[in-house]
Structures are given as structure tokens and as C-alpha cells.
Amino acid sequence: MNDLFQSVPFIAGTFFLAGTVKGLIGLGLPTVAMGLLGLMMPSVEAAALLLVPSLVTNVWQLFAGSHLGVLLRRLWTMMLGVAAGTFAASGLIAGTAAHAATAALGATLALYGILGLLKPRLQLPQKAEPWAGPLVGTATGLVTGATGVFVVPAVPYLNSLGLGRDHLVQALGLSFTFSTLALAAGLAWHGALSIEVAGVSSLALLPALAGMIVGGWLRARVEPETFRRCFFVGLLVLGCELAWRGMV
């Protein structure tokens, strides 16, 4: 735990950068934070540190729009799958196979980076949602429980539903909020969420919010699409590095 407190400057910088990314392009805080923290500490510790900044910023995103009721009625089965899958698989990230968890985290980040660069134009017919939603939610939960990253396959799936921009942003906030709460419950169930880590996670909220403010300021001054490409290239490189570390 002393090592954790000695790493506070690195943790603060990581969450400031992750918050800046989220403020600029609307996503990426958990993904960036897990990837960078995973270079310095076990995935389970990184996931625990992520909880408070992720929860607060995603609840903020969730309630920023006026479509919550509509989205809940449409996506509730997916959210149940996210919660159930995350809780069921949380023993993987909280277990003793640290190298396997690091490799899985790296592979997930690399896959997300590739998907972000390719930007596949997926479109799912609405009649498929009753069966696709629970499957995607459960798959997202299993990935979250194993790696602490909750973007795959939830983000590509939500992008395929043809939601308007405001609906999509709020739907992402909904999915990420369910993932964060389920991950917190799973880590607590497996004894991997200590008061000390929760305290550092709470402190990490401040640089994350500061980063989001800076990212919002930058949004009006830089080309978001160029930044998005750099972001996904960075995720791909970071993911490959983590996957390699986990395998050697």
C-alpha cells in the first residue's frame, strides 16, 4: 500500500490525461486510465483506483441528457447482461493470474484501438435487439470482469443502433455506469476493494474532473477527428505493449 501512495503523482497525471481525453472526445477515461495504470501495477489495483472517477464522470454523462427513460426501456436487458457478466467474471481480475489479466487487458485495448481506427459501419436492425442486447451486455460484462475495460463490445453495438448523438452519449453513460457499479460490487465481493484504495480513487476524481474541463476547452480549439485517430493509435500501441508484458 505504501507503493500505492508513492505512486500518487503518476496516478494523478494518468487521471488528468484520461479526463482530458474524455472531455475532448466524450469517451476514453476508463480505457486510458486502465491502460496506463496497468503499466505500473496489477490490473486489479488499477481497476479499483478507477471506480470513483469512472462512476462520477459517467453518472454526470448519464444525467446530462433527457432521454434516460427511453434508453432504459430500450436497453434494460443489455444492462442486466452487463451487470451479471461483470459480477460473474470479476473473480478473474481479482484472482492470482496477474500476467493473464495483463495480457487480456492489452488484447482488449488493442482490439478497441483497431476498431476505432477502422470505424466499421455496423447497423443492427431493431428487431434483433431483443436477443442481441442481452448477449452483447453479457459479453461486455465478461470482458469488464476480466480486464476492467468496459468498451468492447458495448461501444460498437451501441453505435450500430442508429441512435442520435445525444441519445448515444447518454446510452454510453448508462452502460459505463452499470459496468462500474457491477465491477465495484465484484471487487468488493472478492475482497479486492480496500478502504485505502477507495481513498486514493476518491482523490483521483479531482485530476479527472480537471482534465475533463481542459478537454472541453480544447474541443473548440483542436480537430477532434485528428485527436481521435491519435487516441486509437495510442491505444493500439499501449495494448500491444501490455499484451506482450502479460505473455513474457
Q: What is the pLDDT of residues 134-189, one digit of tens each?
A: 999 999 999 999 999 999 999 999 999 999 888 988 999 999 999 999 999 999 99
Write out pLDDT tens, residues 189-238: 999 888 888 888 999 999 999 999 998 888 778 777 888 888 899 889 98
Nearest in space to 112 (alpha carbons), one of 207, 243, 247, 224: 243
pTM listed for this prediction: 0.90
CA angle 148, 161, 19 (to 5 degrees): 40
Which percentage of the chain shows pLDDT scores above 70?
A: 96
In this model, does residue 119 exceed pLDDT 90? no
Query: Which sequence spans correspond to the domains of the chain?
Result: 2-247
**DSSP for 138-158, written as a single string:** HHHHHHHHHHS---TTHHHHH
Cell of 9: 503523482
The phi, psi pair for 222, rounded to 5°, reads -130, 165
- Measured CA to CA, the distance from residue 99 to residue 178 in angstroms comes to 27
pLDDT at 5: 62
Average pLDDT over residues 95-112: 84
> 81 and 134 in contact (C-beta within 8 Å)?
yes
In angstroms, the Cα distances linking 89 to 138, 158, 172, 175, 224 are: 10, 22, 21, 17, 35
Cell of 150: 468496459
pLDDT at 98: 66
In angstroms, the Cα distances linking 194 to 55, 60, 189 are: 17, 25, 11
